[in-house]
Amino acid sequence: MLPSYLDGYVDLYRESPREAALQWFREAKYGLFLHYGLYSLLGRHEWVQLREKIYVAEYEKLKDRFTAESFDAEHIADFAVDCEMKYINITTRHHDSFCLFDTAESDFNSVNSPAGRDLVGELAEACAKRGLGLCLYYSHGRDWRHPHAPNNDQWPRSARPEYDPPEPSYAYGEEHDLQIYLDFMTAQITELLTNYGPVAAIWLDGISTPASGDYAQFKCQELYDYIHGLQPQVLVSYKQGLLGTEDFLAPEHEAVDTAGRPGEICNTMAPGSWGYNAETAGQHKTAEEVWATLRAARQAGCNLIINTGPLPDGSLDPEDEPVLREVGARLRREGFPE
């Protein structure tokens, strides 16, 4: 069945689902990024667990406060359409390992919280109804909860918080087995690609961790091939590229040499933070600044995906919503800047 976001690419899809998706992505130009999770409740940056060295058992208590009472997937999807965006990317699981979807691999998820909801599922349905591409952010190189995720001794680039004394739930030394973590991630990505309909992209994060050690141990090409086997139209990105075989590159803030592949520059409305950060109030991008960022992306031949960090209750940031709607209105009047 043709994914709704690929309506208009029927003939190419019949020939090659991935080529149809690549063509769609090149023409999409503009998307919405959402960083939402337990860190949003604290409002002190999405890396608050690492920065403040909050031990796992203490951080886990935030799950009991996660209600997402104002997370409205229908409103978010309507908002993206009004902003002239063609796709939405949401943090299904950030570095803290809290999942916004129904997963059998971990009880640390939004369904098993006071919210009692599968936020990814809700957004998948809303996107499908509107022909929006659903992109799924997934933290690959970092996990601050899983016992067998990369440790700092082999992968020093912010793999784990620098706990002193050491975090008791982590596996160390000979007990540590990266393959257990890789199997966990494969199982979760399988869930994401079998339970939520057609997915436009799997957007992997945490690249600096594998890049700081022997990244061959992460078996990324096997993962890419597996993803394409599950859904052949799905595009795979790993930030600015780890292997060079990714379908598109997605650097932060500035373009990189894409070597002819599609590119997506990810940028954020709040300075220095992707998740909700109360300290950045009043400092977010203006409509003119977003327009200039969009122009720079287009001049580099890249899409722009602009991020907003929903508030603790899941509602869109009231500082960002009117600004992005204003940009959408300008796009309808003038078209994309070149």
Q: What is the pLDDT of residue 259?
A: 82
Distance between CA atoms of residues 147 and 169, nearest Å:
6
Percent of the chain with pLDDT over 90: 96
Other C-beta atoms within 10 Å of 322: how many? 10
pLDDT bin (cut points 50, 70, 90) of residue 255 is confident
| 111-142 per-position pLDDT tens digit | 999 999 999 999 999 999 999 999 999 999 99
3-state secondary structure of 239: coil
| 54-101 per-position pLDDT tens digit | 999 999 999 999 999 999 999 999 999 999 999 999 999 999 999 999
CA 63 to the chain's CA centroid? 20
| 266-288 per-position pLDDT tens digit | 999 999 999 999 999 999 999 99
Q: What is the pLDDT of residue 304?
A: 98
User: Tokens 């936020």 identify what position?
Assistant: 119
Q: Which two tokens stand for residue 252?
A: 């932060």
Q: What is the pLDDT of residue 256?
A: 85
Strands 133-139 and 264-268: unpaired
Quick one: 173 exposed, middle or buried, by C-beta within 10 A (0-12, 13-18, 19+)? exposed
Q: What is the mean pLDDT of residues 282-299?
A: 98
Q: What is the pLDDT of residue 257?
A: 84
Q: What is the mean pLDDT of residues 308-326?
A: 98
Q: What is the mean pLDDT of residues 283-294?
A: 98
| 21-35 per-position pLDDT tens digit | 999 999 999 999 999
Distance between CA atoms of residues 325 and 279, nearest Å:
23
| 166-185 per-position pLDDT tens digit | 999 999 999 999 999 999 99
Radius of gyration over alpha carbons of the chain, in Å?
19
Q: What is the mean pLDDT of residues 208-237?
A: 97
DSSP state of 138: E
pLDDT bin (cut points 50, 70, 90) of residue 260 is confident
Distance between CA atoms of residues 239 and 235, nearest Å:
12
CATH code of domain 28-332: 3.20.20.80
pLDDT bin (cut points 50, 70, 90) of residue 316 is very high
pTM (predicted TM-score): 0.98
Alpha helices in 35-145 (DSSP H): 39-42, 48-51, 56-60, 73-82, 119-130
Spatial strand order of the sheet with 87-93 comes to 235-238, 201-205, 133-139, 87-93, 30-34, 303-308, 264-268
Q: What is the pLDDT of residue 149?
A: 98
Distance between CA atoms of residues 289 and 286, nearest Å:
5
Q: Which helix (H) or strand (E) holds 194?
A: helix 178-194
Say yes or no to pLDDT of 157 above 90: no
User: Tokens 């809290």 identify what position?
Assistant: 98
Percent of the chain with pLDDT over 70: 100
